[in-house]
Structure formats: structure tokens, C-alpha cells
Structure 1
């Protein structure tokens, strides 16, 4: 008679991986701000305080633009430790900081020169554009950044298809090139000292090469090597389907349970669409599987994918993996189709596991037979919590702090992995804060990005 035992807990790093990554990023930013400020003081000061302040704002804007590129370069080391959702959030806030720095740069410099020339700001801007090399390019770059910033606002983003939003953001690369040529042409800190020129060339080339490597070369290399293709399409429910893929040397693909890819299925109708879907089973070196719910025309059409379809996959992405597990045991919380990365994690997470699966009706609980089979094999506990979004039980809201503590009394001693719709995820995170579960033990992925 076999004895069910949880997966053994592997050795954990002394410092959490995301803490290490954050420390490196903050050290990088601090060093760059210090260097840029020193080079500014050496060569970019003006007798007019407005012009000096405007130039300094422009220097910091140039740094913010380079950081923007690094945040979206999808570098594996950063992505595995911080996750695309956190990097995307930082990219968004850096973008708005960049926008305001550019506004300050333009306004302060133009007003400063207008004061010296004793003219109005509009006339001074036209005069600078007509007489100073690089200014017109800077104006075009500023206009492109304004367009991208407007498209990134929440009200605009919600009304825009992903492909349209992505196309608009490609203008950022044109703005980067124009801004750099403007800096070369008129940037005093760029021309003031050989060390300053070396610094700025290194920063801009490093950021550009990072984007080229992470967004183009690495995906091309992996796809040429692994050559994924569809081998099975299996309906899991009336509105949910699993797609199985195989390829070459998949044991060398650095994918982990909980991660996701941007998938392009190379049919005539779909090749131009890149959709993010999580792996719904831990990679086994032979096949990859995604499971998707029909929430739009793109995911609904997966059911009709021809067997043998070639697949171009960008990834793996995401920090929602067991490399961040700090405690011996774990709690997994899934909502709706957010069960897909959670189901994969159930194979990989260490120690004793409790799984809470929140669905509107029992029929919505896809992959449930697999979950029960895995739970039986490894001695885990599965609770399916079905009912409307405002469902209350004996301890209040079913995912409230009292209910979570009743279901998992030792919740404070477990790592908690949460994946589901943004509203559910936010509610669970609030409950965990009320229960004083340490933040280093909480790992969340909002399924609006990774699903």
C-alpha cells in the first residue's frame, strides 16, 4: 500500500529572488542618476536657472527613456524574478514620469531662452526649431511620446484592441532614435567630456541591444530550435479548450510551471495575433499545454485549430513560479480560468498544499478531475468554492480573512499563490494583508495579463 507524501522542499535561497532583482535595479538607477548629475554639473550648467533646470529635466528624461526600453526588453533574468505584470506596471509609471520630465524640459528651456531673447515662448520655439540642429527632431519625438502617452491612459487603453495599442507603442522606438540624435546634436553634457560621451553611448546602446536580444533574437532562436506544432485540441467544457503542442529539444526549453507564453498560431487567419496563455500543465520535456476559455473571437477560434499547425511562442514569461516559494507548505487560490497556471503549480510546488478553486457554478470548474487526481497522488486538499461573486458562508465572504483562516488555519506559515480575475485577486490580497501574511510569502498574478 503506497503512502501519499508531499513533494520534498528544496533548499531555498537566503534572500528572495525578487528582493535581489529589486536591489540590482535600484542600485543601477541610483548609479545612473548620480553619473548623469555629475556630467551635467561638469558641462551643462547655464547662467539662466530656468535653462539649467530644463536641461537637467531633459537628461533625466533621457535616462527614463533608456529605462523604459530595459523594462520592456523581456530579459529572462529580470522577468523570472519580478514578472511581466510588475515590470509592465513599472514601465507604465516610468512612462508617465518621462512624459512630465519632457514637458518640464521643453517648457523650461523655451521660456528661459525666450526671457533672454525678450520674445514670447511660441516665437522662441519656432526660432529654435529653424536655427538649431536637432530641435525639430526633438519636437517630433516629443509629439510621438504624447501620442503614446495618450494611448496608455486607462480610458483609451480599455477602448483599444491589443494589436492597435501595440502598434501605437512602436512609435516609441522612433521617438527614442530622434531623442538620441537630438542629444548628440545639442546636449552639452554629451559633448563636454569623453567620459560623458562614453556613458551615454553605453546606456543607449545597452538599452537598444537589450530590446533587440529579448524581443527579437531570443524568440527567433528558441523557435528555430524547438519548432513547436499543435498535436491535439481537446475540449474541456463547452467554452474551454486545451491545446497540446510538441517540438524538438523541449527538455532544454527553460519553462516552469506557472509561466506563460505569447502564442502565435501560424494559420492564415491568426498568424498576426499574439495571445498570452499560461501553461496549464508543468512542462515535462515532451509537450506543452495551454487551456483557454472562449472570452473573445481569438480564444474561441482555438477549438478549430488544425492539427499540425506551426506555433511561434515568445517566452516563457512570468515570476509566478516556485523559485519564489519561501515556506515549506503552500496555499493555491484560483479564480475561474486562472486555474490554468495554478493547476501547473500543483505539480511543482513543495510541501503540503491546499487549493481553493473559486467558480460561479460547479460546471465552471474546468480541469477538476485532473486536480483531484493530482491531489490524491501528492496528498493535497482541494476545496471548490462555487456561487455568485457576493457569496457569503458561515465566516463571511468565502475569500474573506475569516473564511480563509477557517479553511487554512496555518495560512501565515504558507506561501500563497493567487491567480484569477483582477477583482478576485485584489480581494484575496486584501484578506491576506488583514491576516498579516508576510508579503514575501504572497505571489499573485492578475489573469487579465497572463491568461
Structure 2
């Protein structure tokens, strides 16, 4: 029984950590970056699942031993005859569903929209599990200090989520009144969407960051897209490739559509730079934050080299125009090339540069290994994942 209570307590604490990580608190997210927070969230999520499964197993075995009942009979008694254990069982089932769909193999086979909806069930599971704690949790039942501790802990964590994920975005959208102003086709499956609104110069967005975007005609879907141009105070711009049902639908969005944005998020900004010499590496649609960063670095007149690898290089003309204006060196690679050979041949002074990389996981990993082999210090390497995640 003691082991069951202990794993339950640690599982509950790990759930609170999960809430804080997904709250995306600005002062935390800007310093650590969304990639690191997402990795920690994923790692701690599986610990939550295993701790709570252990809690269920040990508690059930403990009660069965205490009552002298067969294990199957004890399970039925706990679930159907003990107050609020049924809702705790439902919470456990929801968390298992979230855990299974978060496994890499499952995520590769799921639409982003489906994964996102299933993932939201974790909030319901946390509330149901907490109700179970309130009713029969040892700390709640036996001590006022324990009750105050857990109410405060969960209250602060849920309050952080409500403020950062609901309150601030709601106030910002009421203030800025975002709408689609224009849609420009870049290729057969890529469009650039210009978004206007009020007082956009007061929106704390930087080149390299992204928002979670919702469009009024399909408000239930949230899509993470990076800004594809440096925010200038009049417009926000995203460039979207048709990779799934949601992004395919955005190819046909009409001007005037109301837009809701949550963010900005991401630490993939010029603030991470440690020196004036910069290398920007983009792959595929990962070019969007790289193009925005190029614009910001160009205004600073930094020493810039850009490598853009893609089969169909969208935004290449824009990047070429910016590069010509500021004297940057732009290399567009459309054929096969290994990362080490590409960087070694095109950027011989890479060790003295800050390197920003955004692209598919395969390219990002190859570039990371290459930079390590070439002796580029880790403090000069900045990455943004471009993968199936939220």
C-alpha cells in the first residue's frame, strides 16, 4: 500500500510538471525554446504514465492482500464500489490513450489534427484524477496542510495554463483583430498568407518565431506555422505547404477570414546570436523562419551565408533579392548533397559563425552531426525542429 501511495504522489507531481511545461510561460519558453520544452514534456509524460500505472498495480495488490480477496474480485470492488475510483479509472484510460498516440510510430501514422484532439483529453484526465485525489487521497483525507498544498499546486499549474494558453491569446486577439488580407500562390502546393490587424507593432513577435494559428471557418484546428517575413508592424506573414488536410484547406482560404493566433513562441531568434558572422541553413518548408531571420540579419548588415536545400525552392527569389541588397551569399541546392560536403565546400569559415538550422528531422540531424565534426561550438548552434509536433 505504501508503495502504491508513493508512486501516486510522484505521478501527481509529474502531472503538475507536465502542466507547467505545456503552459508555455513566455519567460520560460523564450529562455529554453520550444524544442527543449517539447522534449522535456515528452520525456516527463512517459514517466507520468509509468508512475500512475505502477500506482494502480500496487494499490490493487495492496488492497487485495489486505482484504484477502482474489485480484479480479478486488479490481471490481475498487472500480465500482469505492468512491470516485471509477472516474480515476476513466482518467487512467485517457492518459494511456494519450501516451499510445504520442509514441513516434503512432504519430507518424496519424493526422496532426487527430493527434491534437486526442492530446487535449489529457486535460480532462488531469481534472478527473484530481477529483479522485480530493475524495480519497491520503493527503486530502488526513491533513489540512496536505489539502492546502495540493490545491495550491494544482491551482497554480492550471492557472498558468489558463492564463498563458487562453487568457493572453484571447486578450491579444480582441486587441489586434487579425484577418487574412491577401493570399499569394508561390507554387502548385504552397501559398503565402498575409495577415493584417490593429496595433501589430505592439505584438511581441520576432523573426524566427511561430504562432499557433486558427482560422474562423475551421476554428477547432490549430496549426503551428512560423512567420515567413520579419514582423514590421503592419502585417504578419506565413507560408504554408499542403502537407495534410488542414494545410491543404488553407490553400483556398479567402481574404477577410478572421484569424486567431496563440503566441509568439520559439527561441529561434537573433537574440541567440553570439557573433556577427552567421550561417543560415534551410531545408524544404523549413525555409520560412530562415527567410525571416535573413531579413533581420540583413538590416543589421551582418556577414551572412545562406544554404537553402529543396527540390522546389519557394521564396528563393525573395531571398536572392535580400541577399543582393545586403551582400549575403545565398546557395540554393536542389540536387543530392551530403551535409558535411555541402557545408565544408560552401562555408569554409563555419567555425567562426553562429549557425541557424531549420528543416526536416533528417537534414537537421545531419547538419548537427556535421557541425560537431567540424568543431563548431554548441553555443553557436541554433536549431528549430520542423516535424509532426505541437
Q: TM-score range by the shorter chain?
A: over 0.9
Q: 1:170 to 1:337 in 2, by over 3 A?
A: closer
Contact 1:325–1:415 at 8 Å: present in 2 too? yes
Matched, 1:153 2:92: no
- Partners in 2 of 1:117 and 1:302 — Cα distance? 60
Q: 1:272-307 deviations in whole A, cap 9, x for unaligned?
A: 332222111000011111112233343334343222
Q: 1:450 to 1:286 in 2, by over 3 A?
A: farther
Matched, 1:202 2:189: no
CA RMSD of aligned residues (A): 2.1
TM-superposed CA distance for 1:52, in Å, is 1.2
Provide the aligned length of Structure 1 versus Structure 2: 387
Contact 2:107–2:388 at 8 Å: present in 1 too? no
TM-superposed CA distance for 1:112, in Å, is 2.0
- Listed as ranges, the gaps of 5+ residues in structure 2 are none
2:44 corresponds to? 94
- Partners in 1 of 2:381 and 2:196 — Cα distance? 33
Matched, 1:286 2:234: yes
- Partners in 2 of 1:94 and 1:331 — Cα distance? 33
- Partners in 1 of 2:23 and 2:164 — Cα distance? 5
Matched, 1:138 2:77: no
Q: 1:436 to 1:199 in 2, by over 3 A?
A: farther
TM-superposed CA distance for 1:446, in Å, is 1.9
Q: 1:317-361 deviations in whole A, cap 9, x for unaligned?
A: 22211222123321100011211110100122363111111122x
- Partners in 1 of 2:230 and 2:71 — Cα distance? 61
Contact 2:279–2:354 at 8 Å: present in 1 too? yes
Q: 1:303 to 1:126 in 2, by over 3 A?
A: closer
- Partners in 2 of 1:261 and 1:319 — Cα distance? 12
1:379 corresponds to? 327
- Partners in 1 of 2:108 and 2:389 — Cα distance? 17
TM-superposed CA distance for 1:206, in Å, is 0.8
Matched, 1:185 2:162: no
TM-superposed CA distance for 1:450, in Å, is 7.8
TM-superposed CA distance for 1:265, in Å, is 2.3
Match of 1:409, SS state, is coil
Q: 1:348 to 1:113 in 2, by over 3 A?
A: same
Q: 1:158-194 deviations in whole A, cap 9, x for unaligned?
A: 2322222222223222211121122222222344444
- Partners in 2 of 1:278 and 1:310 — Cα distance? 18
1:248 corresponds to? 198
- Partners in 1 of 2:350 and 2:213 — Cα distance? 35
2:355 corresponds to? 416
Contact 2:18–2:44 at 8 Å: present in 1 too? yes
Match of 1:242, SS state, is strand
TM score, norm. by length of structure 2: 0.93
Moved more, 162-171 or 340-349: 162-171
Higher RCO (CA 8 Å, separation ≥ 6 residues): 1
1:447 corresponds to? 386
- Listed as ranges, the gaps of 5+ residues in structure 1 are 1-50, 392-396
Pick the structure with greater CA Rg.
1
1:357 corresponds to? 308
TM-superposed CA distance for 1:58, in Å, is 0.4
2:180 corresponds to? 230
Q: 1:388-435 deviations in whole A, cap 9, x for unaligned?
A: 3xx3xxxxx2x11x5423322222222111001111111111111212
1:310 corresponds to? 258
**Aligned pairs (5 A) from 1:259-408:** 259-267=209-217, 270-349=218-297, 351-360=302-311, 364-388=312-336, 391=337, 397=338, 399-400=339-340, 402-408=341-347
- Partners in 2 of 1:306 and 1:131 — Cα distance? 55
Contact 1:233–1:241 at 8 Å: present in 2 too? yes
